[in-house]
């Protein structure tokens, strides 16, 4: 059983839902990322989504775009991100780590080389925004060969056919995009989420996490009543952006802990 499957099984036994924070690797600098990952775990994170900086994103809003720009200026690429995961694994062999990004950096390394390196450093899942099921068969196969969960996006606009396609190949969890737009965009529609999540879970048979537009503990708590996981990215990166280097880890930890406590309230 993968780390991701074990984590969701453990949380289900406890009657709790997963909190999945997103941060961009290398933001605000190379030295902060691994200590920040450990701090997120202590603050209540169950899975960490680690963004791979990319120069031409299509799903990320302006907040996460700026974090990628800062990381790229610091010389952070996919090789450096894998090294950060390896460093994290020296003292944490339990918390699942999911890489989230775009296909171009992986293609530059090569699918098979990436799969082997990702497995070697302890990556548990990979979400490639621009590699949908009908185009990502080769990469999906390589990930599964290396025991890595291929994670896919679904959205309010996803057709029954797209849900079926994702159900055939996804493992770990499904990332449900709560709104029509980019990360950090408008308010989410809880009623629409409540209608779609049970349908997706019935078809896919794996946990479903909800992200995009979740900015506070109250919303996270509401989503946690519906879904198996809450994914928070832009709000965390925004907190980092507004913090100085000396306070960034403490400020982000405080935010994540507040959200964790809100989600755990009955």
* Active-site residue set: 49, 60
Cα 219 versus chain centre, distance? 18
Partners of 180 in beta bridges? none
How many other CB atoms are there within 10 angstroms of residue 159's CB atom?
Answer: 9
- Return the residue matching tokens 């996919």: 78
How many other CB atoms are there within 10 angstroms of residue 13's CB atom?
Answer: 8
116 to 4, 30, 113, 157, 211: CA distances (angstroms):
19, 23, 5, 34, 29
Rounded Cα gap, residues 113 and 197, in angstroms: 35
**Can you spell out the DSSP letters for 16-33?**
--EEEEEEETTSS-TTTH
Q: Sheet harboring 229-232: ordered strands across?
A: 149-151, 125-128, 97-101, 48-51, 18-24, 229-232, 208-211, 174-177, 153-154
- Long-range (24+ apart) CB contacts under 8 A made by 136-144 are 136/103, 137/169, 138/111, 139/103, 139/106, 139/111, 140/169, 142/111, 142/112, 142/114, 142/115, 143/115, 143/118, 144/171
């Amino acid at each position: 059983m993968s780390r991701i499957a074990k984590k969701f099984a453990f949380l289900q036994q406890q009657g709790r839902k997963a909190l999945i924070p997103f941060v961009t690797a290398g933001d605000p600098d190379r030295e902060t990322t691994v200590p920040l990952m450990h701090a997120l775990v202590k603050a209540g994170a169950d899975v960490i989504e680690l963004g791979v900086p990319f120069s031409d994103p299509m799903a990320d809003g302006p907040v996460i775009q700026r974090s990628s720009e800062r990381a790229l200026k610091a010389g952070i690429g996919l090789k450096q991100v894998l090294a950060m995961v390896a460093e994290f694994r020296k003292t944490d062999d339990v918390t699942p780590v999911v890489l989230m990004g775009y296909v171009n950096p992986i293609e530059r390394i090569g699918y098979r080389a990436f799969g082997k390196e990702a497995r070697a450093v302890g990556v548990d899942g990979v979400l490639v925004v621009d590699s949908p099921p009908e185009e990502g068969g080769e990469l999906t196969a390589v990930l599964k060969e290396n025991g890595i969960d291929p994670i896919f996006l679904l959205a309010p606009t996803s057709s029954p056919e797209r849900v079926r396609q994702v159900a055939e190949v996804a493992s770990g969890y499904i990332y449900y995009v709560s709104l029509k737009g980019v990360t950090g965009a408008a308010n989410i529609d809880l009623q629409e989420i409540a209608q779609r999540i049970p349908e997706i879970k019935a078809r896919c048979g794996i946990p479903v996490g909800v992200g995009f537009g979740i900015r506070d503990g109250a919303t996270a708590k509401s989503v946690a009543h519906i879904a198996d996981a809450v994914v928070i990215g832009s709000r965390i990166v925004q907190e980092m952006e507004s913090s100085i280097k000396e306070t960034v880890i403490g400020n982000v930890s405080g935010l994540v802990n507040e959200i964790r406590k809100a989600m755990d309230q009955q």
